[in-house]
Chain A
């Protein structure tokens, strides 16, 4: 379960590139190719290093015209999806 204080980072089992405003991500263990749009690519950039979820939402709120509630909900939903796909990893707060 992704919550505001959850700390996330990219899974080390991925390889990716940013091209234009998109991100292209390979997950070699299942041979999948995922393309992220501009907002998803921005989150992917941010989680190159471990980030707290509410900090990611704050960054997006500052960069896009979006309310805090929507930014937080969208970021959590996006990260839940990435977690299901094995593309991100969670870190405990004291890690």
Chain B
């Protein structure tokens, strides 16, 4: 993605924030995003009352390839067909608005490119990728925090899982959670998807296929508004569930769970999904 920021100070802040994820300047982007911050106007600045009244969740409207997103701190307009978009930061921290817009944009693009974004920690170990997906408090950052130097945390908050050929890979994103591990612009062939459960002992319990699908959908960051988008999301989730083991990972705050992970943990054995 190429970010175009007319204002030098915004450009510098974006460059600094996403330093590990910058591509070479001449790389051809898959998507171009303009970032605009209107000039500051003290008379129009929002007061605390307006902040308190502002809605927290973005409002979305999609018509065909055009996706419009509005939130208290930004407006965004994406043309998915032309692979272009614009973000206007309205107030507050400019990076907050940019990051929110980027998350929404990536969530839509990932589905259109045979993947999805998951609320998950992604960790590369011995060249293999492991995804630990779950809601806040499930243990994503705890697991990331237990990593030794032999493990590389791709992100402890949001990862892209995407099919290339017949295999899925997990990709780091610049979006970070609460662990101290900085996200990495790296990818690894996906070995398994695990749903963390904090427990006194470590063990793995295969997730039935239906449960795995439901859990992944619950963890998916999905902002598309059309039935076609939802259909592609379902296809990608089912393809992922069928491609790698899916299991509940019960773990204590010790790194001994690693010995349990891998392809020996067979997934559920329910029947294949049918498009309805």
Contacts and interface: CB of A to CB of B under 8 A. Distances in A.
**Band of interface residues on B:** 20 to 34
Interface residues of A, number: 22
A14 B227 contact: yes
B174 interface: no
A19 B229 CA distance: 19
Contacts of B213: 17, 19, 24
Given A20-B209, A23-B276, A45-B276, A15 B214 contact: no
B214 A16 contact: no
A35 interface: yes
B273 interface: yes
Contacts of B273: 17-19
B270 interface: yes
B224 A28 contact: yes
Interface in B217-274: 217-218, 222-231, 233-234, 238, 270-271, 273-274
Nearest to A35: B214
Secondary structure dominating the interface of B = helix
A31 B229 CA distance: 11
Contact of A13 (B222, B227, B238): B227
25 contacts: A12-B227, A14-B230, A15-B227, A15-B228, A15-B231, A17-B213, A17-B238, A17-B275, A17-B276, A19-B210, A19-B238, A19-B270, A19-B274, A20-B209, A20-B270, A23-B276, A24-B217, A24-B234, A26-B230, A28-B222, A28-B224, A28-B225, A28-B226, A28-B229, A33-B218
Given A26-B217, A28-B222, 13 more contacts: A12-B227, A14-B230, A15-B234, A17-B273, A17-B275, A18-B273, A22-B210, A24-B234, A26-B230, A26-B233, A26-B234, A27-B230, A29-B225
Interface of B: 209-210, 213-214, 217-218, 222-231, 233-234, 238, 270-271, 273-276
Interface of A: 12-20, 22-24, 26-29, 31, 33, 35, 44-45, 48
